[in-house]
């Protein structure tokens, strides 16, 4: 990559607005965790519906992971590792929860497929942040 790219990336990561950029990346996990906390029984049902056993333990683990990794990324504590972990988590969760290919043709399948590829993009963004953090750090 060119030095101009690295200089531009350093300016973004070192910029006070970087917190808002990372907050945008972490927003789905922060919102999802808070929703799972407020509707814990629904979170347990969701985990069970995805075939994750024991569902209560998975619900707790997902909440703890999402909040911890998001906080680490937001506040720069092992940001690269946290970002990579969120990318891998997002990719795995997408494969588990958005199996659009198993749905019958129609609106639900199209919606799940759109969401699947949006999540793949989010996972890629986290991996990109991790790669750049490791290069710059």
Q: What is the pLDDT of residues 68-95, one digit of tens each?
A: 999 999 988 999 999 999 999 999 999 9
C-beta contacts of 51-56 below 8 A and 24+ residues apart: 51/96, 52/96
Of 35-44, 58-67, 70-79, 99-108, the range with the lowest mean pLDDT is: 70-79
User: Which residues 6+ apart lie within 8 Å of 137 measured at CB?
Assistant: 80
Q: Which of 70, 65, 129, 123 is nearest to 94 (CA)?
A: 123
Average pLDDT, the chain: 91
* pLDDT at residue number 47: 98
pLDDT value of position 69: 98
Q: Using the structure block, give the residue that is written with the tokens 């808070």.
A: 34
Task: Give the residue with greater pLDDT, 19 vs 9.
Answer: 19
Helix (H) / strand (E) containing 16: none
pTM: 0.88
Mean pLDDT of 53-70: 98
**Residue 15 pLDDT grade (very low, low, confident, very high; cuts 50, 70, 90):** confident
The answer, yes or no, to whether residue 122 has pLDDT greater than 90, is yes
- Token pair, residue 125, equals 């963004």
Give pLDDT, residue 67: 98
A 10 A CB-CB count for 7 gives 9
DSSP H stretches of helix in the chain: 3-14, 18-38, 40-49, 55-75, 79-97, 107-136
Residue 40's closest CA among 27, 56, 52?
Answer: 56
> In this predicted structure, what is the pLDDT of residue 124?
97
The mean per-residue pLDDT over the stretch 95-116 comes to 97
């Amino acid at each position: 990559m060119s030095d101009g790219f690295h200089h531009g990336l350093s300016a973004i990561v070192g910029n006070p607005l970087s917190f808002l950029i990372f907050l945008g990346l972490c927003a789905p996990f922060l919102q999802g965790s808070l929703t799972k906390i407020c509707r814990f029984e629904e979170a347990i049902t969701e985990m069970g519906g995805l075939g994750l056993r024991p569902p209560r333990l998975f619900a707790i683990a997902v909440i703890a992971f999402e909040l911890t990794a998001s906080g680490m990324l937001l506040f720069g504590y092992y940001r690269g590792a946290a970002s990579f972990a969120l990318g891998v988590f997002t990719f795995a969760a997408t494969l588990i929860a958005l199996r659009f290919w198993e749905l019958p043709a129609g609106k639900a399948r199209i919606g799940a497929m759109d969401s699947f590829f949006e999540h793949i993009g989010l996972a890629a963004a986290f991996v990109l942040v991790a790669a750049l953090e490791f290069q710059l750090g």
